[in-house]
Amino acid sequence: MEHFIRTVFWIFTLSGFLQAAPRPAKSDFRINLMRESVKCVSHFKFNIFHDKCITTAVDCVMKELNGTAKVECDGPKDYINLALSAFSLLRKERQDKGYGLTNSTDCVCEKWRQTNFSEFLNKTSDLIDKINSK
């Protein structure tokens, strides 16, 4: 009986501490829900991203969602908050793997051209696809 209890203890202990953190699924970013529910007349910045700029692009998307989208868009802010949480996990995961933010002039958010919210979400979806394909 003592071995059984010890075995059960170690199974639960190890399974609790050795779980891998899952990569956020594309549905976690709530792109489709934002596309359907959040309405914006503002313009957002987005760029074609280089491989070296992906983590910086994620950070820029977070800034646009947290700033412009939350302040100037109509619709449920919960979808934006959930997307921000997923992007935060993704950015942390990339930084933990050594893909930090870049100071390159190619990656600066301010150089991105402005687009409407729908195109911004399409480009954001493309960014997620590019990250998940690696």
- Domains in the chain: ranges and CATH: 25-132 (1.20.1250.70)
**Quick one: pLDDT at residue 31?**
79
| 3-state secondary structure labels for all residues of 7-32 | HHHHHHHHHHHCCCCCCCCHHHHCHH
Given this model, what pLDDT does residue 26 score?
Answer: 57
Give alpha helix (H) positions in the chain.
2-17, 31-37, 54-64, 70-72, 77-96, 117-132
pLDDT at 2: 72
The token pair at 17 is: 């501490």
Question: Within the chain, which residues score under 70 in pLDDT?
Answer: 1, 14-28, 41-49, 134
pLDDT at residue 67, rounded to an integer: 86
Q: Which residues pair with 115 in a beta bridge?
A: 44
